[in-house]
């Protein structure tokens, strides 16, 4: 199995010169308005992040980012062309202009942000490598995993992170390596290991494939940083701002308690923060060439960050991922959006 | 001397040498070792078949709408059921399914017309299938004309896309392959060199590489205004790749025709194209049927590789459906369904080729 990340970097770095030429193209906002839809690159299927539902509509937290951008720019959250991309071609698709927003569980790293001619606009989901253990083992923290046998998928950075973590904490472990995530969960199910490790968002998806999901739990410890966020091309700052503030608007809406349901009542709100957010007090979309109701459209059509999280990966979804570090800053998490004013 | 003029009355064969029992004795139980292997084989079959039937039929859940309707003891066909139209049409908007249905029906009609020998006007039908049908299919599927809403190609998928890729690949690869094969046997050095280089290049590169080139690298070389649709890119890559293989299959057939045939035709004063079209090709193509169908079947299965460039063919859409968090963990059902559909198509192609071989058998078989 080849390491997809390396291949992606190789393919993208090789095409860098061409990519930087391709970035100097026309106004993405204008193109999008002319085109009537936002062209959005998503994963070709990742539970909770982007996958087609029974009716063929894309669902997921990554998908909602693109819907939010469409709501802000075009006033219609459904005006999105979703283009499924795999890990290798995702950056090229963005560089070559096949998509205008890449919202595909992409980890924000220095290399990607600085050498590919791309910009990360923010973090939609703070992911990180975690552990799943059987409940009856009575383990509550990763520190107690000394000597454990751990199921792991080969060829991923997960393997490296795990070795680093155990060495740093002076603990022993016995890795049991599988090729695919299905085999990994099969190995855990069959009792070949005590612990299964992967990114926490993946763990949640693996857990519900177990025969008895309730018998296993995901530890709250996270041993690596995997901030996932949307990406745009470098060189079009207006578009960069639009994508960045679309997400910020959703996070701010959660903070101020504006939801898709009460957005209309909130138009009358006395709270100056809400009035500014919903475009009742000044036009804060002006700097992005948007209408004053840009954020109102996002919130009324897509919902705030909490709604999106809950519906796609949180307690309202089969994945049941806790908010954890993805809670708001005033609730013990990292999600923090600059104020609208 | 005793003479018996009458022949003895005919007796039925001894009981032990006819009927199923004799067959069993002759084929399965003739000797202790064979009997042992027969019993062993039956036991292995029993071990394999019984749990499979138990899983796929007896314990299976058939009706419902969500994962809660599945007991998870046996197969959960509810999943395939709920996603069935998606497996067929991909992410094509459901209110536009009728357009795909018309294309499906016309496609099936054309195939049936070609396959059933009694039906007349085969030549006109071929022309219609090659020249008119693609236009109708494009207009219907893609839309944008006659008030049909546009459905961009990244919403095409499922079996529809698999059939589209395979059909275009086959229809495109055969003529290109014939031309390349003839070119490779040509005495004109430039034509021959070009054909050799073309064939060896496309045959020397894995299909995955070609698809990656088409989807990852090509857009970077083209100016940004010129955005070739990714489906078109995949189709071109697939067709050129298959035509190289087809060329070699056809060249093999051409070489099997004795040189005398060509020379005799030349002696009659036939031109190159007449010799090829009337004498060599008809004999060669007949012998190439197994090879050509083999290439078609492998092309049909190779279409699943477009999954890696983000196109949702049948297998791709099954995998995408498996990633829906409400349907996690039904991968076996999804893959079994995809395998079954692929098997039906490949098996039909194989049977038709056998029928065609029998029909065209004009004395080459020993």
pLDDT in tens, B315-355: 988 888 888 888 887 888 889 999 999 999 999 988 988 88
pLDDT class of A123 with cuts at 50, 70, 90? very high
User: CA-nearest residue of chain A to B79?
Assistant: A54
List domains and CATH numbers for chain B: 20-58 (no CATH), 77-92+151-360 (1.10.3720.10)
Q: Please state at what angle helix A28-35 crosses helix A237-255, rounded to 10 degrees.
A: 80
Query: From CA A209, how far away is CA B330, in angstroms rounded?
Result: 8
Give the residue among B154, B164, B144, B166 at the shortest CA–CA distance from B91: B154
The half-sphere exposure of A278 on its side-chain side, counting CA atoms within 13 A, is 27
Looking at per-residue confidence, does B69 or A149 come out higher? Answer: A149
Judged by phi (left if over 0) then psi (alpha if -120 to 50, else beta), residue A292 lies in alpha
CB contact under 8 A, B320 and A44: yes
User: CA-nearest residue of chain B to A31?
Assistant: B225
Residue with tokens 């530890």: A219
Q: Determine the 3-state secondary structure of B8 from DSSP.
A: coil
Instruction: Determine how many CB atoms are found less than 10 A away from the CB of residue B291.
Output: 17
Q: Is B11 on the interface with A (CB under 8 A)?
A: no
Determine the pLDDT at residue A307.
94
Residues 6+ apart with CB under 8 A from B330: B67, B70, B76, B79, B322
CB contact under 8 A, A44 and B219: no
Assigned token pair, A124: 């939609």
CA-based torsion, B91, B96, B98, B99: positive or negative: negative
Q: Which residues pair with A39 in a beta bridge?
A: A81
Determine the pLDDT at residue B36.
92
Q: Are the folds of A4-126+227-331 and A129-224 the same?
A: yes
Determine the pLDDT at residue A38.
93
- Is-contact A252 A246, C-beta < 8 A? no
- The whole-number average pLDDT for the span A324-331 is 91
Integer angstrom CA distances of residue B44 from B24, B32, B38, B88: 18, 18, 10, 36
Determine the pLDDT at residue A261.
92
Q: How many DSSP H helices and E strands does chain B contain?
A: 17, 2
Distance in Å, alpha carbon of B214 to nearest chain A alpha carbon: 11
CB contact under 8 A, A84 and B227: no
User: Which residues from chain B sit within 8 angstroms of residue A96, using beta carbons?
Assistant: 219-220, 222, 224, 227
pLDDT class of A308 with cuts at 50, 70, 90? very high
Selecting from A15, A56, A83 the residue whose C-beta is nearest the C-beta of B154 gives: A83
Determine the pLDDT at residue A68.
95
User: Which residues from chain A sit within 8 angstroms of residue B228, using beta carbons?
Assistant: none
- Is-contact B124 B132, C-beta < 8 A? no
Distance in Å, alpha carbon of A295 to nearest chain B alpha carbon: 28
pLDDT class of B362 with cuts at 50, 70, 90? low
Query: From CA B238, how far away is CA B299, in angstroms rounded?
Result: 8
Q: Please state at what angle helix A28-35 crosses helix A61-74, rounded to 10 degrees.
A: 90
Query: From CA A119, how far away is CA A243, in angstroms rounded?
Result: 11
User: Which residues from chain A sit within 8 angstroms of residue B161, using beta carbons?
Assistant: none
- The whole-number average pLDDT for the span A132-136 is 89
Residues 6+ apart with CB under 8 A from B22: B16
In three-state form (DSSP H/G/I as H, E/B as E, the rest C), the secondary structure along chain A is CCCHHHHHHHHHHHCHHHHHHHHCCCCHHHHHHHHCCEEEEEECCECCCEEECCCCCEECHHHHHHHHHHHHHHCCCCCEEEEEECCCCHHHHHHCCCCCEECCCCECCHHHHHHCCEEECCCCEEECEEEEEEHHHCCCCHHHHCCEEEEEECCCHHHHHHHHHHHHCCCCEEEEEECCHHHHHHHHHCCCCCEEEEEHHHHHHHHCCCCCHHHEEECCCCCCCEEECCEEECCCHHHHHHHHHHHHHHHHHHHCCCCCCCHHHHCCCCCHHHHHHCCCCCCCCHHHCCCCCHHHHHHHHCCCHHHHHHHHCCCCCCCCCCCHHHCEHHHCCCECCCCCC
B63-105 pLDDT tens trace: 877 777 787 778 888 888 888 888 888 888 888 888 889 889 9
CB contact under 8 A, A55 and B309: no
Q: For residue A9, is pLDDT > 60?
A: no
On average, the pLDDT of chain A sits at: 86
Lowest mean pLDDT among B110-114, B121-125, B192-196, B276-280: B121-125
Determine the pLDDT at residue A157.
73
**Element containing residue B157 per DSSP (H, E):** strand B157-157
Determine the pLDDT at residue B342.
92
The topology (CATH level 3) of A4-126+227-331 is D-Maltodextrin-Binding Protein; domain 2 (3.40.190)
Q: Is B251 on the interface with A (CB under 8 A)?
A: no
Determine the pLDDT at residue A1.
39
A42-93 pLDDT tens trace: 988 888 999 888 888 899 999 999 999 999 999 999 999 998 887 778 888 8
Q: Which residues pair with A50 in a beta bridge?
A: A46
Q: Is B213 on the interface with A (CB under 8 A)?
A: no
Lowest mean pLDDT among A211-220, B219-228, B290-299: B219-228
User: CA-nearest residue of chain A to B311?
Assistant: A84
Q: Is A87 on the interface with B (CB under 8 A)?
A: no
The half-sphere exposure of A180 on its side-chain side, counting CA atoms within 13 A, is 4
**Superfamily for A129-224?**
Periplasmic binding protein-like II (3.40.190.10)
Determine the pLDDT at residue A249.
94
Assigned token pair, B324: 């829906």
Chain A contacts in chain B segment 121-160 (CB below 8 A):
152, 154
- Is-contact B164 B156, C-beta < 8 A? yes
Give the residue among A113, A114, A111, A135 at the shortest CA–CA distance from A122: A113
Looking at per-residue confidence, does B366 or B68 come out higher? Answer: B68
Model-level ipTM above the cut of 0.85: no
Query: From CA A61, how far away is CA A319, in angstroms rounded?
Result: 12
Give the residue among A242, A233, A172, A228 at the shortest CA–CA distance from A199: A228
- Residue ranges covered by each domain of chain A: 4-126+227-331, 129-224
The half-sphere exposure of B181 on its side-chain side, counting CA atoms within 13 A, is 25
Determine the pLDDT at residue B310.
79
DSSP state of B187: S
pLDDT class of A205 with cuts at 50, 70, 90? confident
Determine the pLDDT at residue A156.
67
CB contact under 8 A, B310 and A81: no
Assigned token pair, B348: 């039909």
Query: From CA B353, how far away is CA B346, in angstroms rounded?
Result: 11
Q: Is A308 on the interface with B (CB under 8 A)?
A: no
CB contact under 8 A, A182 and B331: yes
Q: For residue A23, is pLDDT > 60?
A: no
| φ, ψ (nearest 5 deg) of residue A231 | -130, 145
Determine the pLDDT at residue B216.
76
On average, the pLDDT of chain B sits at: 85
Listed in order, strand segments (DSSP E) in B274-346 are 312-313
Q: For residue A235, is pLDDT > 70?
A: yes
B207-232 pLDDT tens trace: 888 888 887 777 777 776 667 788 88
- Is-contact A247 A65, C-beta < 8 A? yes
Cβ contacts of A314-323, under 8 Å, gap ≥ 24: A317/A48, A317/B325, A318/A208, A318/B67, A318/B325, A318/B326, A318/B328, A319/A47, A319/A48, A319/A201, A319/A204, A319/A205, A319/A208, A319/B325, A320/A204, A320/A208, A321/A48, A321/A200, A321/A201, A321/A204
pLDDT class of A259 with cuts at 50, 70, 90? very high
Give the residue among B167, B177, B185 at the shortest CA–CA distance from B243: B177
Determine the pLDDT at residue A14.
46
- Is-contact A266 A258, C-beta < 8 A? yes
Residue with tokens 């059933």: B116
Q: Determine the 3-state secondary structure of B1 from DSSP.
A: coil
Residues 6+ apart with CB under 8 A from A245: A72, A288
Q: For residue B272, is pLDDT > 80?
A: yes
Find which of A54, A66, A92, A185 to mutate to test the B interface (most B CBs within 10 Å of its CB): A54
Lowest mean pLDDT among A223-232, B101-110, B137-146: B137-146
- Is-contact A218 A207, C-beta < 8 A? yes
CB contact under 8 A, B319 and A45: yes
Determine the pLDDT at residue A296.
93
Determine the pLDDT at residue A63.
94
Instruction: Determine how many CB atoms are found less than 10 A away from the CB of residue B20.
Output: 7
- Is-contact B16 B35, C-beta < 8 A? no
Find which of B216, B227, B309, B330 to mutate to test the A interface (most A CBs within 10 Å of its CB): B216
Distance in Å, alpha carbon of B317 to nearest chain A alpha carbon: 9
Residues 6+ apart with CB under 8 A from A263: A253, A278, A296, A299, A300
User: CA-nearest residue of chain A to B328?
Assistant: A209
Determine the pLDDT at residue B118.
81
CB pairs under 8 A between A and B: 108
Give the residue among A195, A98, A78, A88 at the shortest CA–CA distance from A143: A195
Looking at per-residue confidence, does B120 or A332 come out higher? Answer: A332
């Amino acid at each position: 199995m080849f390491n997809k990340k390396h291949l992606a970097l190789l393919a993208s770095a090789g095409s860098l010169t061409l990519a930087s030429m391709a970035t100097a193209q026309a106004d993405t906002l204008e193109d999008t308005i002319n085109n009537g839809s936002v062209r959005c690159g998503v994963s070709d299927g990742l539970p909770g992040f982007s996958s087609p539902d029974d009716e063929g509509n894309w669902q997921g937290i990554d998908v909602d980012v693109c819907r939010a951008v469409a709501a802000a720019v075009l006033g219609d959250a459904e005006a999105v062309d979703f283009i499924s991309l795999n890990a290798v071609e995702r950056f090229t698709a963005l560089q070559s202009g096949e998509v205008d927003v890449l919202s595909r569980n992409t980890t924000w790293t220095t290399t990607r942000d600085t050498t590919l001619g791309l910009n990360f606009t923010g973090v939609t989901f703070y992911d990180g490598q975690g552990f799943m253990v059987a409940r009856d083992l009575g383990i509550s923290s990763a520190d107690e995993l000394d000597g454990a046998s751990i199921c792991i998928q080969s060829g991923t950075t997960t393997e490296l992170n795990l070795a680093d973590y155990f060495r740093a904490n002076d603990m022993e472990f016995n890795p049991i390596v599988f090729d695919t995530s299905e085999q990994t969960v099969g190995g855990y199910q069959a009792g070949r290991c005590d612990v299964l490790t992967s990114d926490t968002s993946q763990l949640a998806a693996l857990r519900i494939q177990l025969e008895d999901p309730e018998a296993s739990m995901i530890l709250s410890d996270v041993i690596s940083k995997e901030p996932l966020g949307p990406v745009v091309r470098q060189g079009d700052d207006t578009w960069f701002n639009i994508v960045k503030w679309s997400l910020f608007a959703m996070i701010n809406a959660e903070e101020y308690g504006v939801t898709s349901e009460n957005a209309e009542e909130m138009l009358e709100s006395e709270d100056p923060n809400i009035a500014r957010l919903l475009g009742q007090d000044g036009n804060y979309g002006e700097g992005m060439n948007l209408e004053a109701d840009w954020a109102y459209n996002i919130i009324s059509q897509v919902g705030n960050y909490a709604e999106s999280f809950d519906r796609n990966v949180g307690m309202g979804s089969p994945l049941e991922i806790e908010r954890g570090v993805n809670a708001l800053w005033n609730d013990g998490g990292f999600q923090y959006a600059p104020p609208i004013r | 001397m005793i003479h018996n003029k009458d022949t003895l009355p005919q007796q039925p064969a001894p009981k032990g040498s006819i009927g199923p029992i004799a067959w069993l004795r002759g084929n399965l139980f003739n000797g202790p070792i064979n009997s042992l292997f027969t019993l062993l084989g039956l036991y292995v079959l029993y071990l394999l078949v019984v749990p499979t039937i138990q899983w796929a039929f007896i314990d299976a859940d058939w009706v419902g709408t969500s994962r809660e309707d599945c007991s998870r003891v046996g197969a959960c066909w509810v999943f395939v059921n709920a996603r069935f139209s998606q497996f067929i049409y991909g992410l094509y908007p459901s209110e536009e399914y009728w357009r795909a249905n018309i294309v499906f029906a016309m496609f099936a009609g054309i195939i049936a017309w070609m396959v059933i020998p009694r039906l007349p006007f085969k030549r006109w039908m071929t022309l219609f299938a090659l020249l008119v049908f693609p236009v109708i299919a494009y207009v219907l599927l893609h839309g944008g004309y006659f008030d049909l809403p546009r459905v961009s190609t990244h919403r095409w998928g499922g079996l529809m896309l698999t059939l589209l890729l395979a059909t275009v690949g086959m229809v495109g690869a055969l003529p290109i392959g014939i031309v390349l094969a003839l070119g490779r046997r040509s005495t004109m050095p430039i034509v021959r060199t070009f054909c050799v280089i073309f064939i060896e290049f496309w045959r020397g590169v894995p299909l995955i590489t070609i698809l990656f080139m088409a989807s990852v690298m090509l857009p970077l070389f083209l100016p940004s205004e010129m955005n070739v649709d990714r489906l078109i890119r995949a189709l071109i890559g697939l067709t050129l790749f298959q035509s190289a293989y087809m060329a070699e299959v056809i060249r093999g057939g051409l070489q099997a025709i004795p040189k005398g045939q060509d020379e005799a035709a030349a002696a009659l004063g036939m031109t190159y194209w007449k010799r090829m079209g009337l004498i060599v090709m008809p004999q060669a193509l007949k012998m190439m049927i197994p090879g050509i169908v083999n290439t078609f079947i492998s092309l049909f299965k190779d279409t699943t590789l477009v999954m890696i460039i983000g196109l949702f063919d049948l297998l791709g859409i099954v995998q995408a459906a498996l990633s829906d968090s409400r349907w996690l963990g039904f991968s076996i059902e999804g893959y079994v369904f995809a395998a079954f559909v692929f098997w039906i198509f490949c098996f039909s192609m194989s049977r038709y080729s056998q029928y065609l071989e029998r029909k065209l058998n004009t004395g080459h078989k020993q």
